Amino acid sequence: MTLHLAGAAWVLPLAAVLLALSGLISLYRLLRGPSRPDRAVAIDALTLLAVAAMALLCLMRGEALFIDVAVLLALVSFLGTAAFAFLFDDAHSQMPEKREERP
């Protein structure tokens, strides 16, 4: 099945440039993030950008070769994000709780 996209000559390269720019911004946050949750969000953003890049590559080449890989990467990214959420939730649950004093 062949798919013809209107404006593909300029829209797809523009999308690729914007994905690359987003990847550089996320990479900067990963390297310079002030906290661990910032870095975890940057890793999640980078994996989602990789999924989007694979889908864009499929559109540019007209082949559905990388769609399965993109879906698998999205699933693994979801599991990683859930693991990070449990990790950070456990770190906060070990903090001493503040007690409210009643008058």
Burial environment of residue 58 by CB neighbours within 10 A (0 to 12, 13 to 18, 19 or more) = middle
Between residues 1 and 40, the one the model is more confident about: 40
User: What pLDDT shows up at residue 89?
Assistant: 76
Q: Please write the tens of the pLDDT for every residue from 45-60.
A: 999 999 999 999 988 8
* pTM, full prediction: 0.76
Contact criterion met (CB below 8 Å) for 50 and 72: no
Q: Please write the tens of the pLDDT for every residue from 32-45.
A: 988 888 888 999 99
**Confidence band, pLDDT 50/70/90 cuts, at residue 8:** confident
For the chain, percent of residues with pLDDT exceeding 70: 83
